[in-house]
Amino acid sequence: VERYSRIVKFFSYLGKNTLIIYLTHKPLLTLFCKFFSMSGDIPWFVTLLTMLCFVLAVSIILARLVNRYAPALAGKNKSECFLRENV
């Protein structure tokens, strides 16, 4: 049951931060595509999975930074973000 709780919390976090993830994923994909295009010997599915992991990780980090330092960009006020993160 605890295992499913973590999965639900993760997807809930992603759902609450979809605006930030939506706005950051395209520039990140473009950046990583340019990086991976330089190495031509990597199979496409390895490239796809690697890019997915990197883009998701960087998007989550950026979402945390925006929520902490500029919550108005995410459509939240500072007190909501502060209270939600410390619970």
What are the tens digits of pLDDT across the range 18-29?
988 898 889 998
pTM (two decimals): 0.72
Q: Which two tokens stand for residue 7?
A: 């999965």
Task: Give the CA-trace dihedral at 13, 71, 27, 44, to 10 degrees.
Answer: -10
Parts of the chain with a pLDDT under 70: 1, 78-87
Interatomic CA distance for residues 60 and 37, integer angstroms: 24
Report pLDDT for 84: 58
